[in-house]
Amino acid sequence: MKILVSSCLLGEDVRYDGENSAIAYNTSSSFGEKELFMDIMCEHSIYSFCPEVSGGLSTPREAAEIISSTKPFKIQTKSGENVTINFLIGAKNTLELCKEENITVALLKSKSPSCGNDGIYDGTFGHNLVPGVGITTKLLEENGIKVFNEKQIHELAKHLNPQLDKMSLANSLKGLKL
C-alpha cells in the first residue's frame, strides 16, 4: 500500500528549527513501536513529504501557529508574519500528490500546524494544546484520506492489515493448553 509520511518523521531535517522528529530516535516511542514502524516502512511504498517546505517556507524557519482554523484561515509566526498562503499551498500540494498517486493513508507528525491530527497549539505560542488538526491534515481528511500520527503506529498497522488483531490473538493462544 502507498503511505504518505511526514518527512521529519523519517529523519529529514525539515522542521522549523532545522531538526527532525525521527521515530527511530524518539525516546517516547517504545522499542515495539519502533520495530512496527520499521516493518511498515519496509513493507509499503513510502512517500516522504513536508507540506511547509513544499509551500515555500525555508528551513530553519520561524515557528508558526494557527490563529484561525476556519475560513478565513490565518497562520502566523511568533513575530507576526502572515504565512497562511504557504500553509495553504503546502496542503494543496500534499493533496495533489495523494490524488496523483492514489494514496489513501498518511502517517503525519502530531501537534504540527500542518500535519497534526489530534490537537494543535492555540495560537498564543504558550505551548497550550487545544482540540484541532493542522491545515494539511484538515484538507486530507476532508478528501477521505485517513491520517495517523506517530503515537498511533498500532492503529496504522491495524488499518493496513485488519487481520492483525486476529493473528496476534492466534499467536498469543499458541502453546496454551485450553
Choose among 117, 156, 148: nearest CA to 135: 117
* 12 versus 33: smaller Cβ distance to ligand SF4: 12
Q: Looking at 22-30, 46-54, 151-159, 162-170, which segment touches ligand SF4 (CB under 6 A)?
A: 46-54
95 binds ligand SF4 (CB under 6 A): no
CB neighbours of residue 34 within 10 Å:
16
Site for ligand SF4 in 125-164 (CB under 6 A): none
Kindly calculate the radius of gyration of the chain based on its CA atoms and give it in whole angstroms.
17
* 32 versus 60: smaller Cβ distance to ligand SF4: 60
Q: Which amino acid is at 27?
A: T
Q: Looking at 24-32, 50-58, 72-80, 122-130, which segment touches ligand SF4 (CB under 6 A)?
A: 50-58
Phi first, then psi, for residue 169 (nearest 5°) are -65, -45
Q: Looking at 32-40, 71-79, 106-114, 154-162, which segment touches ligand SF4 (CB under 6 A)?
A: 106-114
- For 153, 170, 172, the CA distances from 167, given in Å and listed in that order, are 17, 5, 8
* Distance of alpha carbon 102 from alpha carbon 63, whole angstroms: 31
Residue of 4, 91, 103, 115 interacting with ligand SF4 (CB under 6 A): 115
Residue of 29, 37, 40, 51 interacting with ligand SF4 (CB under 6 A): 51
Residue of 3, 36, 50, 140 interacting with ligand SF4 (CB under 6 A): 50
Q: How far is the CB of 165 from ligand SF4 (least distance, A)?
A: 29
CB neighbours of residue 146 within 10 Å:
14
| CB-based contacts of 85, cutoff 8 Å, min separation 6 | 55
Binding residues (CB under 6 A) for ligand SF4: these are: 6-8, 14-15, 50-52, 109, 112, 114-115
